[in-house]
Amino acid sequence: MASELRQRNVASKKKSSAQLRGPDASSSPKPSAPDRVKQRDRCYRLANLALTVLAFATRFYIINHPDQVVFDEVHFGKFASYYLERTYYFDLHPPFAKMLIAFVGYLVNYNGAFKFDSIGDSYIDNNVPYIAYRSLSAVLGSITVPIVFKTLQESGYSVWACSLGASLVLFDNAHIAETRLILLDATLIVSVALSLLCYVKFSKQRKNPFSFKWWAWLLATGVSLSCVISTKYVGTFTFMTIGSAVCIDLWNLLDYRAGLTMKRFLQHFFARAFSLIVLPLGIFLFWFWVHFAILTQSGPGDSFMSPEFQETLGDNILTRDARQVNYYDTITLKNKHANALLHSHEARYPLRYDDGRISSQGQQVTGYGTPDVNNDWQILPEVEFPEDDRVGHPVFGGNKIRLRHVKTNTMLLTHDVASPTYPTNQEFTTVSMELAEGERYNDTLFEIAMKKNARDIIKTKAGQFRLVHSNINLWTPGKRLPEWGFGQFEINGNKNVQDPANWWFIDEITDLTDPERLNYVPKEPKKLPFLTKYLELQAIMFAQNNALTSSHPYASEPITWPFLVRGVSFWTNNENRSQIYFVGNFVGWWLEISLIAVIVGVMAADQLTQRRNVQALNRTARSKLYNSLGFLLVGWACHYFPFFLMGRQKFLHHYLPAHLIAAVLAGGIFDFIFGEFDDGPVAARRSGRPYRNTKIIVAFSVIMVLLVSCYVYYAPLTYGDPGLTVEQVNARELMNIELHFAK
């Protein structure tokens, strides 16, 4: 009883004391678990909203400057104009993003008259809606930031990690420069980001297979992938990223322990195959169909295409100027590859070449780029027609012909003598008519081997063919001859049937006077099946892409990209010494590659320690390490390492998709390093208890100060304003960056 009274007394004193002190924070009711979840979600929303506002601010800041054509706006602005005029053009990239730019021009009623011919051309003087064009890129670049944030949030990372990953894109000078101009990269990057987000959202529905949300996010992933591949072919790397995760997912589902029947597994397989392969391919082909449907008029892209393709275009030169070629016509022949006319003149090959070889000293046969009487050749039959019957005999594919050089009255010939600069190839020359009709007759015969429709009538401007003598093809490498050859193109013969420089066509008939043959009869454009046109265009696009091997002053190698060894000059203005130079945020890029090195080291160390049964990581951390961070690491590698295998020109902007994924990866690694996957924070989140990680807040603050400072420091080079003094320019020349006005 005494004990009971003492307890009541103590309780009474505590109550009185509490009443005197008033309400205390510790005595206030703690928020419930649902309330804490709402508070946490509110933090995510507010952080994402703030970063999105900043993204729009950084992308739209002085977007009207400069009011001149900048860098590759010369290409993609031009292509938009061609769409608006429905004029056929050729480009290495798929049409989706370019049609988006053209659609903006259509919305503002622009007619496409300006052709963006040169960097520095004035938009104001030519009444170009360039701000509308640039705004498309700026919007897409801006919404990339919240997509990155949301990807990290959906992957289960802290608000600090989400904010860091998004900020690495938000304050990156390279992303800003590339996504506020009339370029394709804003569309490419936002499509890559959407592909990652949609696949993450789909993965979270794995416990609800074939539900509405499961299908919705799977199909959304496929649509996003189609946008990537329909913008640039490097979108293949995004397919590799998602495809690797899908293969692992299917492999796990195939395990009998997953409890799926084979029928159910096949349903999973075909759902993914349709959504991630068939659907994107269908959308990809659709944009090419639209591309062909819009570009119906003849334009600068005609020359890349076959004559059959060109004849599908309205007002094409083939429909206007194609003329039937008859025997005894005087013609000019043009090489499709070098765009050079077959030419000869009285000058002869030198007795000895530089390497000591002896030539035939025959009359030179070369390629010439401009009209000249020495380009004229008369086309003769294998066997002469009677004198009174030499009019109106058409030349067919498969015929054997002879070519008489009109100016020197000599006959084209090839023989077993090495060519001037290709000892493995045969020399082409001409011989007198006396020898051509006698002992050298067989050496003057050439078969017309058509590229298509082997027995068609030969026409000017159309019908590409090889001129073949005993398996030797008339060929030009596009290489200039030395001084003795007057710098003209070398012509010789090779045995490689597949060489694209073997193809020739008859450019014109120079002695045509027959009114009936000269009369132009308007023709309806021909029709070709969509797949025929598509496959031809694809072959030419890949061939031209592989041919981009020449040097460029701002080209760089992939090994240098993560370290920002060098950038690209976009635009300069001599009047106020301002310039736009494409370079990233050094703090962000070096931080990303450092964190990638850390996580690779952690993975290697974890594998080694597990071999000795040392469990250095808890279950949650290991799951995040291999499933989430591992997926992002594969994505970064898929978008980066394939460039080492490419022989074409490469530039820093090719790294931007990999940089985007590196930013997401860096945000996740940030959580890993600062203990967000340790038992304490994880247990706190599961129980709904509040948890404050002081280390991560301090680290985030330090990184943000450095990141923003570097962004501001390089902002004059990103926006092209204000101009910098010589000292200020020199202070920004880190690594191998070569800025203008440094002296």
C-alpha 730/C-alpha 234 separation (Å) is 35
Q: Which of 240, 196, 223 is nearest to 281 (CA)?
A: 223
If pLDDT is split at 50, 70 and 90, which confidence band does 691 have? low
Stretch among 117-126, 303-312, 476-485, 711-720 having the lowest mean pLDDT: 303-312
Report residue 587: phi and psi, to 5°: -60, -50
Helix (H, G, I), strand (E, B) or coil at 248: helix
For residues 498-517, give the mean pLDDT.
Answer: 88
Torsion 673-679-681-685 (CA) sign: positive
Q: What is the pLDDT of residue 354?
A: 83
Identify residue 705 by its one-letter amino acid code. Answer: V
Is pLDDT above 50 for 677?
Answer: yes
Q: Which of 133-142, 256-265, 406-415, 657-666 has the lowest mean pLDDT?
A: 256-265
Q: For residue 493, report the phi and psi dihedrals to the nearest 5 degrees.
A: -120, 135
pLDDT score, position 342: 97
Side chain identity at 55, as an amino acid letter?
A
Q: Which residue, among 95, 284, 155, 290, has the nearest Cα to 669 in the 3D structure?
A: 155
DSSP states along 277-322: IIHHHHHHHHHHHHHHHH--B--TTGGGS-HHHHTTSBT-HHHHH-
Interval 105-134: pLDDT, tens: 999 999 999 999 999 999 999 999 999 999
Q: What is the pLDDT of residues 14-43, one digit of tens each?
A: 444 444 344 443 444 556 667 777 888 899
For every residue of 584-641, DSSP letters joined together read: --HHHHHHHHHHHHHHHHHHHHHHHHHHTT---S-HHHHHIIIIIHHHHHHHHHHHHG
How many Cβ atoms sit within 10 Å of the Cβ of residue 605? 13
Mean pLDDT over the full length of the chain? 90
Q: Report the percentage of the chain scoring pLDDT > 90.
A: 72
Residue 437 confidence (pLDDT) above 50: yes
Mean pLDDT (whole number) for 543-566: 89
pLDDT above 70 covers what percent of the chain?
A: 93
Indicate the range of 406-410, 589-593, 680-684 predicted with least confidence. 680-684
Angle between helices 159-170 and 33-60 (to 10 degrees): 10
Residue 549's pLDDT band (cuts 50, 70, 90)? confident
Assigned token pair, 655: 């790294």
3-state secondary structure 314-371: ECCHHHHHCCECECCCEEEEEECCCCCEEEEEEEECCCECCCCCECCCCEEEEEECCC
> In the numeric block, which tokens belong to residue 221?
């992933």
User: In whole angstroms, what is the distance from residue 694 CA to residue 680 CA?
Assistant: 13
- The helix/strand/coil state of 505 is strand
631-656: average pLDDT:
95
Q: What confidence tier does 478 reach under pLDDT thresholds 50, 70, 90?
A: confident
Over residues 407-431, the mean pLDDT reads: 93
Give me 197's structure tokens.
């987000």
Length of the chain: 743
Return d(Cα 170, Cα 54) in angstroms, integer: 8
Q: State pLDDT tens for residues 39-68.
A: 888 999 999 999 999 999 999 999 999 999
Confidence at residue 102, expressed as pLDDT on a 0 to 100 scale: 97
User: What Å distances lie between residue 501 and 218, 402, 474, 491, 689, CA to CA?
Assistant: 46, 21, 9, 10, 73
Q: Which amino acid is at 204?
A: K
pLDDT at residue 106 in the model: 97
Most confident of 29-33, 561-565, 679-683: 561-565
Please enumerate in sequence order all residues whose Cβ is within 8 A of that of 57, keeping only pairs 6 or more positions apart, or say none.
none
